[in-house]
Copies of this chain bind each other. A is one copy, B any other.
């Protein structure tokens, strides 16, 4: 499968872990570090170590798994470990994990000594098709998702499809939501292909196509001034639902489950305000409903969700901004939605 060239770095698909070993050697780094969580330490690190060889010398930095740990406390922990291990400006950080690890590791590296090199080895489907590509780094603060971060590109991304095989089914489905989004905003054929795919283990070809779609968009608009906002489809409402669930629900939603809800709501808004056909709306809704369990969002929470949307970094001033579909495979950005419209879309979701 072809290597994809992003803004300033390559995304490897073939023999990617061998490529990682080559990259480290060629880079002449004084030291390198691998950032893991307990699950990627168990399932993915041994495979990486095999490729690095027995005499590779590096330090491990481990953080606790989970979105609730993508915060400034763990970030400070990473910075302090880098200090203690003597990481200098010519050091490399390898982020081995899902989106939590790639986002937080990218942020820590981009701010340590005003920026050291980092690469991503994404180990979840979601981080392969989405989080590892595009240069957004970030952590959550005060229950606001990714509110602190930078735009900093990794030096390379290494896609290892076999990592997906140890991923829990629910985490695979979380990534599938972003793949479906790629079809909805940019490629109706790909959407149709996905509908027939094996969602327990999406093929490497499908992953490659998703990365291609995301990469084409971010290359055109790295800092999200315009077209990149297409990727926010489902995320205005989805992020608020995700945050709410993280704060209130012990068994909280995954990122994909939350944006699947967001995509249903925003598809409804697309039908209401943006010319999406009723047939398209129904097709979208039934696809997501067949994949993701219904989630109870009581009307009492609508106000809280609205406040969360106002704090979201996608929104300017008091306006809530959505990306809406015009058809399956096509979208348009910068639609201002009122509190009432957003509530109605949540009511629609609850009525299904």
Contacts and interface: CB of A to CB of B under 8 A. Distances in A.
Interface stretch (A136-144, A238-246, A339-347): A136-144
Interface string A78-102: 0110010010111000000000000
A88 B30 CA distance: 39
The range of chain A's interface size is 35 or more
A3 B62 CA distance: 49
B317 A88 contact: yes
A290 interface: no
Given A30-B317, A141-B79, A317-B30, A147 B113 contact: yes
Given A311-B86, A316-B90, A76 B141 contact: yes
Nearest to A84: B142
Contacts of A89: 313, 316
Interface stretch (A148-156, A186-194, A293-301): A148-156
Interface string A297-335: 000000000000011010111100000000000000000
Contact of A72 (B76, B83, B147, B315): B76
Most chain B CB within a 10 A radius of its CB, from A138, A142, A148, A317: A148
A31 to B, nearest CB: 8
A229 B172 CA distance: 48
A136 B310 CA distance: 31
A248 B111 CA distance: 27
5 contacts: A31-B317, A80-B141, A83-B311, A112-B147, A113-B149
Q: Top 10 A-B pairs ranked by shortest CB distance?
A: A113-B313, A30-B317, A114-B149, A88-B316, A111-B148, A90-B316, A114-B151, A83-B142, A114-B150, A80-B142
